[in-house]
Structure 1
Amino acid sequence: MAEDKSPEEQMNNLAVNDDDDVVDPWNVSGKSETGIDYDKLIKRFGSSKIDDEVIQRFEKVTGKKAHHLLRRGIFFSHRDIHSILNLVEAGKKFYLYTGRGPSSDSMHLGHMIPFMFTKWLQDVFDVPLIIQLTDDEKVLWRDIKVEQARQMAHTNAKDIIAVGFSPENTFIFNDLDFIGQCPAFYQNMLRIQKCVTFNQVKGIFGFGDSDVIGKITFPSIEAAPAFSTSFPFIFDNKVVPCLVPCAIDQDPYFRMTRDVAARLKMPKPALLHSSFLPALQGAQHKMSASDPNASIFLNDTAKQIKNKINKYAFSGGQATVDEHREKGGNTEVDISYKYLTFFLEDDQRLAEIKKSYESGEMLTGELKKIAVDTVTPVITDYQARRALVTDDVMQDFFRIRRIKF
């Protein structure tokens, strides 16, 4: 198993060569048209690959077939997942923690991936879930006022709830409101801040001398939910291990957190890392809320989804029909096919589509239609659930209370 890199080694986690992919909490871009080289990223970050052995162990411990996002390598990397599976086998509990930095009024399809998988984890392990909305982060990094950030946090919370979470075992909070209400959370923030030097945090996150001071302390806020003592109203100050499902770009926060955990005599959080849902224009970039033509939003209509995929989804097909029939399409770069790997659950059907497209039997237009027909019901079903999430429903999740544990 890969070991965590030391704070000094973490200082080199950003792109170090011109041919490196850029993956950090604020920037993601690949050098190849096939997208991010995730195997290379595992080596650079010092995590461990989710291989067949890990997947088989998941299935043995849970007694259920692994989620398709796990089977297909979309969740591809981990830190200490075996420690969590050992706990389950011993009849002990853990909790889940994930989050979202609200930066738009509506989330897009890419934002859904960690939450979809987290919902599966919560269901198969029957454990509590804590979701942090880092609205304070967006105030610090973007030209967004506090009031705007709070509003986006509340709107995004409704988007997240519509994934299917229950208030019985899920607690959601936004930093701008919660931190002042929970002394234990702020106290853990301070404990974390005392363990990380200014030089280390600059190296891990690439901060510069002209960055505002709030950025320097923010990592302690994202780290604090990984310690159960931050939530005494849920865990009664018991030390409970934590599992964090998140996109790989958030890993620097938790490399820091795991280093701090040992010094605070707390268990290191385990992690499961997802790859990125690529932008419509190509796999070099992830879907972004800042570009409406690069993303499929959760409030897009069926017509908008169809138009976006047909017009913007990068094709791995050939220039002409005859050439495509002869050479076949390239699923390594075709965005419609990549979306099917995320949202088409039928493994056999996916394999048939891959074979047909790569042989040239299936044309790009046909593949795009399958992508439209697959993604659209995911969004429309979601929108039906989202319509039921009122302000009162949202407040149930935000209420400081004991949840099922």
Structure 2
Amino acid sequence: MSYPIAEEVVEKTIDEVEDKVTPWEVIGHSDTGIDYDKLIRRFGSSKISPDLIARIESIIKKPVHHFIRRGIFFSHRDLDFILTAYEQKKPFFLYTGRGPSSEAMHLGHLIPFIMTKWLQDAFDVPLVIQMTDDEKFLWKDITIEEANKYAYENAKDIIACGFDLTKTFIFSDFDYMGQCPNFYRNICRIQKCVTFNQVKGIFGFTESDSIGKIAFPAIEAAPSLSSSFPSIFGEKLQQEYPCLIPCAIDQDPYFRMARDVAPRLNFPKPVLIHSTFFPALQGSKSKMSASDSNSSIFLTDSPKDIKTKINKYAFSGGKESIEEHRAKGGDCAVDVSFQYLRFFMDDDERLEQIRQDYSSGKLLTGELKKILIEVLQTLVSQHQERRKEVTMDLVQQYMTPRQLHFRY
């Protein structure tokens, strides 16, 4: 006996399964990970189009970063607004952040900072970087003291990315909250505008979540308001300056909330550009974790560590045998080594040649991994050398509230 209706229902259910993307959990249901086109439609953002890329290049008089060219930063909210402000010689600022849950950052953590550094240089604008040590205390099994310590250690890695001291302010939530009444006032303004039902709907909170978690989204939203930084923008700010936030798209819920609240408080809506997710070594279906040293390459890894991890754990899109691989070629869409090269090899022509060679079977998996190992060993060792120069005194300079340099 057949049951066509039941089969049809099951098939529809499977087809309608959505990827899960929240600030704390990311689950993709395909071999290539998240379906970003569906996510754009679901979140209501806009794709970064070729026309928009051409406009950026026309304004800054140079090519966009390869993260944008390759669709790694793929989505935005009102980026046109920031570009128009820049053309009109009106000031704006950048805001991004880091949730410090361990002393060591991994390669995935670098992505928003590499993009932000390029934006700071391209547009010559000030930047604030929020270290959400309070968030990690609330969500992780760590003490306040540990979370705050991790914030300062992570700040060293962030500074090693090359941010301009005259244009960059880094702050710990635990420390800055007591230094700046304006910051807390803006947090309260945002909190008053958002109901418990709304925050449950946006973030999926339940009645078993602590009130600290429920209140936290306003803390992450508040740095998008320039009045949260009177030392940078002045105590008597005549008007709010718009803000551009580069972040992974899992952080978007915070700023959907902020964009909903902003008009009611007479603040400009924060502008966003979203990145795709950096895959774990085990593939796009796996999740990188700071507690799993084998899920990614960490900025503390030695050249030997990098070689071992790539050779042992990097998910391959190659075939079962050399003969089959030569005949059918590899799948770059799922091959982690190739995906990592998309992020960290800036030579477009060489990357395209590698893609063609691997897809055709001319390049073997071991040879592809060897190329990646060399790229990452160089990148990580150079980062480690720069980090050695970052003293705690220099960290304190970046974390001291002060006026920053403005282009206009």
Please give the TM-score of this superposition, normalised by the length of structure 2: 0.94
Aligned mates of 1:350, 1:171 — CA distance in 2: 35
Question: Within 5 Å, which residues of 2 pair with 1:112-127?
Answer: 112-127=110-125
Tell me which amino acid in the other structure corresponds to 2:216: F
| Shift in Å, 1:54 | 1.2
Question: Within 5 Å, which residues of 2 pair with 1:226-305?
Answer: 226-236=224-234, 237=237, 238-305=239-306
Gapped regions of structure 1 (runs ≥ 5): 1-15
Aligned mates of 1:98, 1:338 — CA distance in 2: 24
CA contact (8 A) 1:28 1:285 kept: no
| Shift in Å, 1:280 | 0.2
| Shift in Å, 1:18 | 6.5
CA contact (8 A) 1:276 1:286 kept: no
Question: Within 5 Å, which residues of 2 pair with 1:370-381?
Answer: 370-381=371-382
Equivalence for 2:219: 221
| Shift in Å, 1:93 | 1.3
Equivalence for 1:32: 30
Please give the TM-score of this superposition, normalised by the length of structure 1: 0.95
Aligned mates of 1:77, 1:191 — CA distance in 2: 28
Question: Within 5 Å, which residues of 2 pair with 1:65-214?
Answer: 65-214=63-212
| Shift in Å, 1:342 | 0.3
| Shift in Å, 1:290 | 2.2
Q: Could you list the runs of 4 or more consecutive aligned residues of structure 1 that deviate by over 6 angstroms after TM superposition?
A: none
| Bigger radius of gyration among the two | 2
Q: What is the CA deviation profile of residues 181-231 of structure 1, one whole-angstrom value per residue up to 9, with x for unaligned ones?
A: 100000000100010001000110000001110111100100000000111
Identical pairs, percent: 62
Q: What is the CA deviation profile of residues 8-40 of structure 1, one whole-angstrom value per residue up to 9, with x for unaligned ones?
A: xxxxxxxx9862111100001211111111111
Tell me which amino acid in the other structure corresponds to 1:260: V
| Shift in Å, 1:168 | 0.7
Q: What is the CA deviation profile of residues 279-317 of structure 1, one whole-angstrom value per residue up to 9, with x for unaligned ones?
A: 000012343212111110001001100110000000000
Aligned mates of 1:211, 1:220 — CA distance in 2: 16
Matched position secondary structure for 1:34: coil
Equivalence for 2:10: none
Equivalence for 2:45: 47
Tell me which amino acid in the other structure corresponds to 1:343: F
Equivalence for 2:3: none
Aligned mates of 2:208, 2:284 — CA distance in 1: 32
Equivalence for 2:4: none
Tell me which amino acid in the other structure corresponds to 2:168: T
CA-atom RMSD in angstroms: 1.1
Aligned mates of 1:214, 1:185 — CA distance in 2: 17
Equivalence for 2:340: 339
Q: What is the CA deviation profile of residues 319-373 of structure 1, one whole-angstrom value per residue up to 9, with x for unaligned ones?
A: 0000001110000100000000000001000110000000011100000001111
Tell me which amino acid in the other structure corresponds to 1:224: A
Equivalence for 1:10: none
Aligned mates of 1:99, 1:123 — CA distance in 2: 18
Equivalence for 1:388: 389
Q: What is the CA deviation profile of residues 20-72 of structure 1, one whole-angstrom value per residue up to 9, with x for unaligned ones?
A: 11110000121111111111110110000011111111101111111000000
CA contact (8 A) 1:81 1:272 kept: yes
| Shift in Å, 1:180 | 1.1
Gapped regions of structure 2 (runs ≥ 5): 1-13
Aligned mates of 1:247, 1:32 — CA distance in 2: 19
